[in-house]
C-alpha cells in the first residue's frame, strides 16, 4: 500500500516525514503488555505501508530499543527511509554538559543512531531555569553532529519565544491539539508560523475516544477507561464541556465522515493537519495489539469544506475555553 499525495511533509528543510507519525507512548507499559517480536512485526507493516515516521521518548519503556532493533533489521539502506523523533524528559536538576551529553548518547546507542533525527526536550518546572542550560548544551551537541534538529515538547508560547530569542534553534514544539483542545490556535500556531517553527500534534484522537466506538455510548466510568490515554483524555473532555456535548461533536463528525466516506478519526486527523504550522499528527500505535494502518491512510484522501467546518464549529462554540480553564499549551503539566 502506498500513501496518497499530501502524506509527506518537508520537515525542517532537509528531510521528509509522514504527516501521520506512529506514536510509541503505547509501548510504555501504561496501555498493556507489549510482545517485542509482535511489536517489531507491526513496525514493519507500518513502514511498508508508508508510515515511516515514529515518535517516542527515553521514558516510553522499550520504545528506543525497539527502534534500534528495527533499524538493525531494516539494514543501513532501508533504515534511511525512516525517521524517529525521541524526547528527553529529565527531572529538574543540575544540567551540566556531562549530564546532557550522557542522556543524548544513551538514546543514540539504544536507537542505533549516529545522530538523532529530532531530540524533543521537555521540562517540568519553569521556575527552575536550568532548562536553559540543558538547551544550550543540546544546541552545542547539535552543532557537533549528535543531534540533527532540536525541538520542544509541551512548552508554552512565552517560553518558546524566550528560548529562540537566546539564539537556540528550535524547529518544532510538540503539543496537545484536537477538536476538543484547540488551545494552539489562540497563540502558539500564529507565533510558530511567523518564526518558522512547526507543530507536532498529539492527543488528536483523544486516546481513541474520538471514534465511532464511543458514539451513542453512555459515559464510561473509570473501570471502562482501561488505558492511560483513555483516562487522560476523558479528563480533558470533562474540562472542555462534558460527555453530552462530546456526543454532539461525535454526531456532527459522523455526518461529515459519512459524506466523505471515511471515519470519525479521519475527520479529526484531517482537521488538525489542515491547521496553520502543523507538520504532523501523532497517532498512537498499540504495536502487536491493534492496528489501524488502512484506516489512518484514509486521512489523506479527502478535504474538509466550508460546510464541514461550520457543522463542527456549531458544536465547538458551546464548549469551555480551555485556554482560560487550563492555560497555554503544556500548562497542564506544570
The model's pLDDT over 165-184, given as tens digits with 9 standing for 90+, comes to 999 999 999 999 999 999 99
Buried b (16+ CB within 10 A) or exposed e, 230-266: bebbbebbebbbeeebbbebbebbbebbeebebbbbb
- % of the chain at pLDDT higher than 70: 100
Strands, DSSP E only, in the chain?
A: 8-11, 15-18, 20-23, 53-55, 83-88, 116-121, 147-153, 172-176, 198-202, 278-284
Q: Where residue 242 falls among pLDDT bands split at 50, 70, 90? A: very high
User: What average pLDDT does the chain have?
Assistant: 95
And the C-alpha cell for 245? 456535548
pLDDT tens by residue, 63-82? 999 999 999 999 988 888 99
State yes or no: pLDDT of 151 exceeds 70.
Answer: yes
This prediction's pTM: 0.95
Amino acid at each position: 500500500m502506498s500513501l496518497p499525495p499530501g502524506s509527506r511533509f518537508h520537515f525542517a528543510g532537509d528531510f521528509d516525514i509522514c504527516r501521520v507519525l506512529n506514536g510509541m507512548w503505547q509501548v510504555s507499559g501504561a496501555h498493556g503488555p507489549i510482545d517485542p517480536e509482535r511489536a517489531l512485526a507491526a513496525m514493519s507493516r507500518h513502514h511498508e505501508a508508508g508510515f515511516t515516521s515514529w515518535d517516542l521518548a527515553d521514558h516510553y519503556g522499550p520504545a528506543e530499543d525497539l527502534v534500534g532493533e528495527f533499524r538493525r533489521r531494516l539494514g543501513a539502506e532501508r533504515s534511511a527511509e525512516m525517521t524517529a523523533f525521541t524526547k528527553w524528559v529529565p527531572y529538574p536538576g543540575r544540567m551540566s554538559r556531562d549530564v546532557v551529553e550522557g542522556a543524548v548518547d544513551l538514546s543514540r546507542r539504544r536507537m542505533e543512531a549516529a545522530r538523532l533525527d529530532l531530540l524533543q526536550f521537555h521540562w517540568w518546572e519553569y521556575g527552575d531555569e536550568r532548562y536553559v542550560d540543558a538547551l544550550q548544551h543540546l544546541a552545542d551537541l547539535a552543532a557537533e553532529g549528535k543531534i540533527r534538529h532540536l525541538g520542544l515538547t509541551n512548552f508554552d508560547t512565552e517560553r518558546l519565544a524566550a528560548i529562540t530569542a537566546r539564539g537556540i534553534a528550535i524547529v518544532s514544539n510538540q503539543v496537545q491539539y484536537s477538536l476538543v483542545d484547540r488551545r494552539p490556535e489562540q497563540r502558539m500556531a500564529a507565533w510558530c508560523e511567523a518564526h518558522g517553527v512547526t507543530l507536532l500534534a498529539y492527543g488528536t484522537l483523544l486516546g481513541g475516544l474520538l471514534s465511532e466506538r464511543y458514539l451513542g455510548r453512555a459515559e464510561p466510568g473509570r473501570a471502562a477507561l482501561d488505558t492511560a490515554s483513555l483516562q487522560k483524555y476523558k479528563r480533558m473532555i470533562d474540562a472542555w464541556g462534558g460527555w453530552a456535548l462530546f456526543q454532539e461533536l461525535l454526531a456532527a463528525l459522523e455526518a461529515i465522515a459519512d459524506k466523505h466516506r471515511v471515519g470519525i478519526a479521519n475527520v479529526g486527523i484531517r482537521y488538525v493537519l489542515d491547521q496553520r504550522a502543523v507538520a504532523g499528527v501523532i497517532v498512537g500505535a498499540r504495536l502487536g495489539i491493534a492496528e489501524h494502518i488502512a484506516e489512518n491512510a484514509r486521512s489523506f484522501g479527502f478535504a474538509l469544506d466550508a460546510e464541514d467546518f461550520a457543522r463542527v464549529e456549531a458544536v465547538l462554540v458551546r464548549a469551555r475555553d480551555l485556554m482560560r480553564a487550563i492555560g497555554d499549551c503544556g500548562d497542564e503539566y506544570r
